[in-house]
Amino acid sequence: MLRKLAVLVILFFVSSLAAPGQAVRQFSFHYGFTVKDVPAGERIRIWFPEAHSDQFQEIRVVSATGDLPL
């Protein structure tokens, strides 16, 4: 009996997460990195994750700073 109740509670919780009209949630992600030991005059390529807006999320860059043009 308790197991069935627990399963029903879990199913209700999961279904409520996928319900249409879900409230808007906001997150802030902070990326930071340091590139060291680069020989002077050498050209380098650096990859870092960059999110993109789509039908499921809206991405806004709040600030971007660095020693080189971004």
24-34, pLDDT tens digit by residue? 788 888 878 88
Mean pLDDT over residues 28-47, rounded? 84
Q: With 70 as the cut, is the pLDDT of residue 18 above it?
A: no
Q: What angle do CA 17, 62, 34 make, to 5 degrees?
A: 105
CA distances from 21 to 9, 28, 61 (A): 21, 22, 25
Per-residue model confidence (pLDDT) at position 25: 80
pTM exceeds 0.85 for this model: no
The single-letter code of the amino acid at 65 is T
DSSP-derived secondary structure letter, 56 = T
